Amino acid sequence: MLIKRPPSYHKLFFFRGMLLGMTVTLKHFILNLLRIRKIPTIQYPEKKRERSARFKGKHILTKKLDGSIRCTSCLLCQTACPARCIKITPSEHPDPKVEKFPISFQIDLLRCVMCGYCEEACPVDAIRMGQEYEWADYSESSFIMDKEYLSNRPALQGGVISKVNS
Amino acid sequence: MTSHSEPKAKNPMVKITADGKVIEAPKGGNLLKALLDNGVSVPHYCYHPGLSVAGCCRMCFVEVEGQPRPLISCNATVTENMVVKTQTETVKNIQKWNLAFHLINHPLDCPICDQAGECGLQNYYMQFGKYESRMEEEKVKKRKVIPIGDHVMLDTERCILCSRCVRFFDEVPKTSEMAIFNRGDRSEIGTYEDKALNNNYTLNSVDICPVGALTSRDFRFKRRVWFLKDIPSICPGCSTGCNVTISQDPIEKRTYRMRPRFNEEVNGYWMCDYGRMRYKHTHRESRISTPLIKKAATLIPTEWDETKHELFTIFKTPASQISVLITPQYTSEDITHIYDFFTKTIGTQNIFHCADSHLASDSTVTDELLFRRDKNPNSQGLLKISAHYKLQEQNLSLFQQKLKSDPWTILFIFGPHDLEAYPEFLSWFKENNSLKTKIYIGTQVKHQIPLFDLLLPTLTFIETEGTFVNFKGLSQKLSRGVKLIPEAKPICEILC
Amino acid sequence: MTPTPKIVFQNLHIPNIKKLAVYREHGGYTAAQKVLKETKPEDIITLVKNSGLRGRGGAGFGTGMKWSFVPKDAPLKYLLCNADEGEPGTFKDRILMEQIPHSTLEGMIIACYAIQCPRAYIYVRGEYTESIEALEAAIQECTKNNFLGKNIFGTPFSLDIHVFKGAGAYICGEETGLVTSMEGAKGQPKVKPPFPAISGFNKKPTVINNVETLAVLPWIILNGADNYKKIGTEKSPGTKLFCLSGPVKNPGTYELPLGFPLKDLIYDIGGGLTGNLKLKAVIPGGLSAPVLTAEETMTMTMDFESLAKVGSMLGSGGVIVIANDQCMVDLLSVITYFYKHESCGQCTPCREGTGWMKKVVDSILHQRGRAEDIPLLQDISTNMMGGRTICALSDAAAMPVKSFVTKFKQEFEYHIKNKRCHL
């Protein structure tokens, strides 16, 4: 069967369709270039999106007014943790009014699933999920955060005071 | 063992109705005990079946038909056809308010309280209370963190003044060391001038304390109780064979405490402090963690396969040159296996035991309560099994004689898990003798010395299932807990 | 006003009645002699039961009934005379012991003979030094004259009476508290059953009677049960010592028949209130009794039943008059402090409840009150009452609070609302 094809010079006019399609792109290009409307894209490393207060980032251990760690090492966060990433070693505090405090407090960030249960379980607002989320590193061991890092890392700028101070 | 003489089998059983359920109880017996024994839940703090009735916590109110008002069941006696109601609105209201009264001056320091998780106040609050606190005033402050004795820590603020501990020391060890001082809401439990508790039963007060007022200094802050798994077992501390519950953390693979388990025939509700600390020798750090072989006067860790080869060559020596020494700290099943293996498979009769037949059946207690002189849990079992193989005469003194005279070259030692029983254990083998190879099968790291040629780690009483026979000849079962040393092997796997 | 018969106070104003000889001159010890020589012990119990004599200590339990609970065959029994008069507003036993100690002793001889017990103690509160001296002197005299000791009056009955000094705890006035205190333990009540009549002092059957109850006995023996019943009301026969205190012109202890109008006690015998004061309220039976308003007082008669009808009680007969210059919140603060201080600390509702009530009342008094505090006080007091504790101190502590908050609610509300007293 003979199929009737369009004349070959028609091929020269495919640019027309192409340009037609390109107008959409062109429109957006011009609009964005001239900043005529707001762009949702953020220039990530230079600019960072504002996170909500409920954002679950890297954990923080809060402090008492005197600067010591708020955690009473009740182990409720460790109990609530579904990933078993928290390891606390309680110890006797020399001050009988404090009685119990964590001599070591470790969170394994690689195990953590950022569920925030620890924050929920804490009766004294001692552990919070912070705002930091950039924690790429070279070795696994550097993902185990200790007490000092959790409460006093530079990003915390001197630490966070717990809301429960009795 | 119970100081409180409860009417027992003598009293005829009568039928009573509790919440519509017909139950049988001894006539004239304690109503609360009858209800609890039959699974009727009645909240209570001051009542303890092993102690006298104080009736001061006022939690165990029930309604009895025919009585004008609710009464405390701990001070009521069972009468025939009694109709008891524990779930009426009046009773529930009393329970709720009594709990409120208990809690108004309680410090609510559950986060740092070791009792949290097994606390009477917490449990009953979830069960009966669940109200919003209306207490807006300042709480009464009392003294905290007072160590009384080596084992007990006192916190008077958490105390609900149920007086169980006071009655315990009055009635069981009869030392009357604790008392309630002052009166009204200033009442405090304590010892006179905070003197240390000085008897072998102090930790029982921690068990019976329904709240965190008395906590164990040994267990203090070690582990939250909800991580622990309870294993019914037998105390290995002496020949009494107190029934115990061992608490282990299956994830951490560690034992945390031992507490008494009720057995009327053996220990009642109690056990001694000495016995409670016997779990410590099962800790990883005090155990031989891997098979060891002596090479050039030092012990080096080795593989089980290699020890198997070693044992294979040892077993090729003439049977008469092989001797065995067993300490009575293994289960009857293990001891039977040892006897069976050496008499039948190896064919030696040189099997000696360390059980003292006089001490083993000695029923006198050194402290007039539970503790007996024989610090081995299974002397009777070992003696019985040795008698079965007609080797009961081969005891320790004969072993020491023969060690000097007989031409043995191989000695298998089934060493003690608990070194308290045989403090001079090592000195038995230090003398010059004809022995060429000493094979030590045991658990204790203190014995990990080049005196022995081959050390094989085995399991302690917590990790094995089996039987201990106590001084009376009563066989009691041990349940198997979590294996604490992955490399350790049971006797039946070592000797095969 | 008709002259009222005197029973326990019949010899009160005779000089030197403390002396045995004077007491005997006025008919003393005739009842005891008559009983010991002529009457069987059971007959005395029946006689006292018939007289309808009710305990004068506060609870108003039938005396004869109490005695009949004691097992007859027990080898050793005790009679304890409760002279630990701790109820605030009560000072009747003190007068009896200081002025006519022999009447108490005679009553004890009769009671001991009735229950056949060879040994009796008088538990006197430690602050009553004069009572202790008077009693000890009287006992000494009696022993010298064979009124006490072996074979009293030549009969085979022997009796020793000892004085025991209490250390001044309110709770030791409670039967079992008294017993534990005498046993040398911390004075705190014990769970009942067993009741002291079965297992009391030193685990032996023990009868505990109030001083006034015992002092009535000689009169009943001499005059018979029927004559006793003629005095007072039908259900509450006899006379009672009423201790009138507060801003009245003539405060003091008066012996009056039961069923006596409270109004007359205050206005006639007491001579009315001092100055221009007006009656606001009356606590009719010692501090533990629920308060009566002025209106209730006007129609009230002083006997067990009438007071019970309006939810109060006769108690120990300490009538405390409260005038209109008294702030009820302030008064309640004092009352709650007393019970907080005196709670033995055994039972939780009482130990914690008394302290809690004190704190709440104080916060109302010191301008920190909240509107919720009034229902809270009512709830706390309600839940401390009705047999929730071993002894009645919890009820005693709760009843004033409940009655004050209910009957004088407006004063509490004023304090909470205006942060100051209405006076």
Q: Please, what are the domains in chain C?
A: 20-230 (3.40.50.11540), 239-323 (3.10.20.600), 328-418 (1.20.1440.230)
Report the percentage of chain A scoring pLDDT > 70.
99
β-pair type (C318-323, C239-245): parallel
Angle at CA of residue C405, ends C399 and C406, nearest 5° = 90
β-pair type (B214-216, A59-61): unpaired
Is residue B5 pLDDT above 50, yes or no? no
* Helix/strand/coil for B229: strand
pLDDT for B142-158, tens place per residue?
A: 999 999 999 999 999 99
Q: Which are the contacts of B95, defined by CB distance < 8 A and separation ≥ 6?
A: B43, B59, B61, B124, B128, B129
Report the percentage of chain B scoring pLDDT > 90.
79
B184 closest CB neighbour out of C186, C343, C370: C343
Nearest CA to B72 out of B80, B83, B63, B81 is that of B63
**Domains of chain A by range and CATH?**
59-156 (3.30.70.3270)
**B393-409: average pLDDT:** 88
User: Quick one: closest CA in A to B114, which residue?
Assistant: A74
* Helix/strand/coil for B180: strand
> Is the minimum CB–CB distance between B108 and chain A shorter than 8 Å?
no
Alpha-carbon distance B341 to B323, whole Å? 12
Mutate to test the interface with B, among C337, C338, C348, C373 (most CBs of B within 10 A): C348
Cβ-based contacts under 8 A for chains B and C: 97
Q: Are A88 and A115 in contact (CB under 8 A)?
A: no
> Is the minimum CB–CB distance between B71 and chain C shorter than 8 Å?
yes
Is residue B180 pLDDT above 70, yes or no? yes
Alpha-carbon distance B288 to B446, whole Å? 8
A72 closest CB neighbour out of B111, B224, B227: B111
Contact B185 C345 (CB under 8 A): yes
Using a CB-CB distance cutoff of 8 angstroms, which residues of chain B are in contact with residue C176?
none
Domain spans, chain B: 13-87, 137-282, 284-494
Q: How many CA atoms lie within 13 A of C385 on its CB side?
A: 19
pLDDT for B35-91, tens place per residue?
A: 999 999 999 999 999 999 999 999 999 999 999 999 999 999 999 999 999 999 999
pLDDT for A55-78, tens place per residue?
A: 999 999 999 999 999 999 999 999
Alpha-carbon distance C69 to C77, whole Å? 12
Angle between helices C101-115 and C92-99 (to 10 degrees): 100
Is residue A35 pLDDT above 70, yes or no? yes
Mutate to test the interface with B, among A74, A81, A87, A95 (most CBs of B within 10 A): A74
Q: Which residue has the tokens 């708020």?
A: A70
> Is the minimum CB–CB distance between C355 and chain B shorter than 8 Å?
yes
Task: Read off the tokens for B397.
Answer: 């003194």
B221 closest CB neighbour out of A97, A100, A124: A100
Nearest CA to B462 out of B262, B220, B256 is that of B256
pLDDT for B231-261, tens place per residue?
A: 999 999 999 999 999 999 999 899 999 999 9
Contact A73 B116 (CB under 8 A): no
Alpha-carbon distance B224 to B123, whole Å? 16
* Helix/strand/coil for B99: helix
Angle between helices C129-144 and C92-99 (to 10 degrees): 40
> Is the minimum CB–CB distance between B225 and chain A shorter than 8 Å?
no
Alpha-carbon distance B212 to B205, whole Å? 11
β-pair type (B83-85, B61-64): antiparallel
Query: Which strands make up the sheet holding B21-26, listed edge to edge?
Result: B21-26, B13-18, B83-85, B61-64, B71-72
What pLDDT score does C273 carry? 94
> Is the minimum CB–CB distance between C346 and chain B shorter than 8 Å?
yes
Exposure string over B297-317, b if 16+ CB within 10 A, otherwise e: eebeebeeeebeebbeebeee
Angle at CA of residue C414, ends C413 and C420, nearest 5° = 130
A79 closest CB neighbour out of B109, B112, B226: B226
Alpha-carbon distance B450 to B429, whole Å? 12
Q: How many CA atoms lie within 13 A of A63 on its CB side?
A: 17
- The architecture in CATH of the region B284-494 reads 3-Layer(aba) Sandwich (3.40)
Is residue B392 pLDDT above 90, yes or no? no
Contact A124 B111 (CB under 8 A): yes
What pLDDT score does C183 carry? 94
Is residue A39 pLDDT above 80, yes or no? no
Task: Read off the tokens for C357.
Answer: 């009530």
Of chain C, the end-to-end C-alpha distance in Å amounts to 37
Mutate to test the interface with B, among C346, C380, C391 (most CBs of B within 10 A): C346
Contact C355 B105 (CB under 8 A): yes
Contact B221 A73 (CB under 8 A): yes
Residue B269 burial (CB < 10 Å; 0-12/13-18/19+)? buried
pLDDT for A124-142, tens place per residue?
A: 999 999 999 988 999 999 9
What pLDDT score does B361 carry? 86
What pLDDT score does B363 carry? 86
Is residue B8 pLDDT above 60, yes or no? no
Nearest CA to B154 out of B188, B182, B185 is that of B188
What is the domain class of B137-282 according to CATH?
alpha beta
Confidence bin at B4 (pLDDT 50/70/90): very low
Contact B111 A91 (CB under 8 A): no
The radius of gyration of chain C from alpha carbons, rounded to an integer in Å, stands at: 22
Residue B22 burial (CB < 10 Å; 0-12/13-18/19+)? exposed
The radius of gyration of chain B from alpha carbons, rounded to an integer in Å, stands at: 27
> Is the minimum CB–CB distance between C388 and chain B shorter than 8 Å?
yes
pLDDT for B11-35, tens place per residue?
A: 889 999 999 999 999 999 999 999 9
pLDDT for B193-215, tens place per residue?
A: 999 999 999 999 999 999 999 99
The residue ranges of chain C whose pLDDT is under 50 are 1
Length of chain C: 423
Chains C and A touch (3+ CB pairs under 8 A): no
Shortest distance between the Cα of C126 and any Cα of chain B, in A, equals 19
What pLDDT score does B116 carry? 92
Is residue B430 pLDDT above 90, yes or no? no
Task: Read off the tokens for C297.
Answer: 């007082």
What pLDDT score does C3 carry? 58
What pLDDT score does B364 carry? 87
Shortest distance between the Cα of B222 and any Cα of chain A, in A, equals 7
Confidence bin at B1 (pLDDT 50/70/90): very low
A96 closest CB neighbour out of B144, B224, B226: B144
Q: Which residue has the tokens 């063992």?
A: B1
Please tell me whether the peptide bond between B236 and the residue prior to it is cis, using omega within 30 degrees of 0.
no
Confidence bin at A32 (pLDDT 50/70/90): confident
Label each residue of B353-389 as H, E or C: ECCCHHHHCCCCECCCCCCECCCCCCHHHHHHHHHHC
| E strands in B250-399 | 254-260, 292-295, 298-301, 322-326, 351-353
Contact A79 B221 (CB under 8 A): no
Residue B403, phi then psi, degrees to nearest 5: -60, -35
DSSP H/E element including B82: none
Mutate to test the interface with C, among B79, B92, B101, B156 (most CBs of C within 10 A): B101
Alpha-carbon distance C328 to C324, whole Å? 9
Exposure string over C51-89, b if 16+ CB within 10 A, otherwise e: bbbbbbbbbbeebbebbbebeeeeeebbbbbbbbbbbbb
What pLDDT score does A166 carry? 65
Shortest distance between the Cα of A135 and any Cα of chain B, in A, equals 29
The domain made up of B13-87 has a fold known as: Ubiquitin-like (UB roll) (3.10.20)
Label each residue of chain C as H, E or C: CCCCCCCCCCCCCCCCCCCHHHHHHCCCCHHHHHHHHHCCHHHHHHHHHHHCCECCCCCCCEHHHHHHCCCCCCCCCEEEEEECCCCCCCCHHHHHHHHCHHHHHHHHHHHHHHHCCCEEEEEECCCCHHHHHHHHHHHHHHHHCCCCECCHHHCCCCEEEEEEECCCCHHHHCHHHHHHHHCCCCCCCCCCCCCCCCCCHHHCCEEEEEHHHHHHHHHHHHHHHHHHHHCECCCCECEEEEEEECCECCCEEEEEECCEEHHHHHHHHCCCECCCCCEEEEECCCCCCCCEEHHHHHHCEECHHHHHHCCCCCCCCEEEEEECCCCHHHHHHHHHHHHHHHCCCCCHHHHHHHHHHHHHHHHHHCCCCCCCHHHHHHHHHHHHCCCCCCCCHHHHHHHHHHHHHHHCHHHHHHHHHHCCCCC
Shortest distance between the Cα of A61 and any Cα of chain B, in A, equals 16
What pLDDT score does B9 carry? 52
User: Quick one: closest CA in C to B135, which residue?
Assistant: C356
* Helix/strand/coil for B208: helix
Alpha-carbon distance B305 to B302, whole Å? 8
Which residues of A lie closer than 8 Å to B, measured between beta carbons? 72-76, 79, 84, 90-92, 96-97, 99-100, 123-124
Report the percentage of chain A scoring pLDDT > 90.
59
